[in-house]
Amino acid sequence: MTALLSATNLQKTYRLGRVDVPVLRGVSLDVRAGEFIAIVGASGSGKSTLLHLLGGLDRPDRGTGGDVTFDGRSLGSLSAAGIDRYRSRSVGFVFQFYHLLPELTVLQNVAIAAMIRLGRVGYLRQRGVVTARAEELLGLVGLSHRLRHRPAELSGGERQRVAIARALMNDPPLLLADEPTGNLDRASGLGILEALVTQRGQTGRTIVLVTHDAEVAARADRTVRLVDGRLSGA
Ligand SMILES: Nc1ncnc2c1ncn2[C@@H]1O[C@H](COP(=O)(O)OP(=O)(O)OP(=O)(O)O)[C@@H](O)[C@H]1O
Ligand SMILES: [Mg+2]
C-alpha cells in the first residue's frame, strides 16, 4: 500500500508549568490516497492534537517525536515556508471551533483561503473565478442566503458550515476535519457529510475526520480509535 499521508510513532507532550502532559505516545497511521478515515476517542484523548500534527499546524515533540509524511515528503524536513505551502495547497482544515475571521463576511471568509494561496496579485486577477467558487461552495453547504453576514450574526451550525466551505476552497487533496458536523442537527450533519463524500468521489480527495458520532464514523472506509495516546482499530 502506498500511503499519501503517514504518521510514524508520533509523540506529543504539552508542558503545563513544570508538569509534562503526554497526549500522543506513539501514534502511527497510514492513509491511502482517496481513503476516508474516521478518528474516534474520548474527549481529551488527543484527537485534535493529532489532526493538528497531520495538518502541519503544530509539530511533534523534538527529537524522538516521530514524523508526518505527505506524498513522500517529511513535514519535519520542511522550512517554515514549506509548511505554509503544505497548509495552503495540500490541506483543507476544518477547525473544531471554526476560527473564522470576525471582521470578514461569510463570502470573504471562504475566499480568503484562495487569497492566501494565490497571493494578492494573483487573487485580484482571478477574483471573479474565486468569488464564483466561494459562492458555489456556500451553496453546497446551504448558506447561499447568508453571504454578507459576519460570523457573529450566524448560528453555531452556520459557522461550522462556513468553515467547511473555506476548507474546500482550494480543492485540497487532503481534507482534515475536526468534528465538522458536531454542531449540526442530525439531518443537516448527514447532509453535509453526504456532500463531502460525493465531492470526494469526484475529486479523489482523502479525508481524515474526527467525530463522536457513530453514524458519521460508519460512513468512513475505516475507523481508528485513540486510547491512552495510541491508535487502535475500532
Ligand atoms: N495547548 C495545550 N497545552 C496543554 N495541554 C493541552 C493543550 N492542548 C490540549 N491539551 C491537553 O491535551 C489533551 C488532548 O487534547 P485534545 O484537544 O487533542 O483532545 P480531543 O480528543 O480533541 O478532545 P475533544 O473530543 O474534547 O475535542 C487534553 O487533556 C488537553 O487538556
Ligand atoms: Mg478536539
For residue 158, report the phi and psi dihedrals to the nearest 5 degrees.
-70, -40
Distance between CA atoms of residues 178 and 194, nearest Å: 16
Q: Which residues of 211-225 are buried (b: 16+ CB within 10 A; e: fewer)?
A: bebeebbebbeebbb
Residue 167 belongs to a domain with what CATH number?
A: 3.40.50.300
- Residue 145 amino acid letter: H
Q: Whole-angstrom Cα distance, residue 179 to residue 160?
A: 9
Rounded to whole angstroms, the Cα distance separating 16 from 12 reads 13
pLDDT at 153 over 70: yes
**What whole-number distance in Å separates Cα of residue 89 and Cα of residue 69?**
15
**Interval 75-88: pLDDT, tens:** 999 999 999 999 99
At 234 the pLDDT is 64
Q: How many domains does the chain have?
A: 1
Q: Which of 11, 15, 39, 45 has the most ligand 1 atoms within 8 A of CB, as the residue to mutate?
A: 45
Q: Which of 11, 25, 47 to mutate to test the pocket of ligand 1 (most atoms within 8 A of CB)?
A: 47
What is the model's pTM? 0.95
Containing structural domain, residue 91: 3-233
Cβ of 19 closer than 6 Å to ligand 1, yes or no, is: no
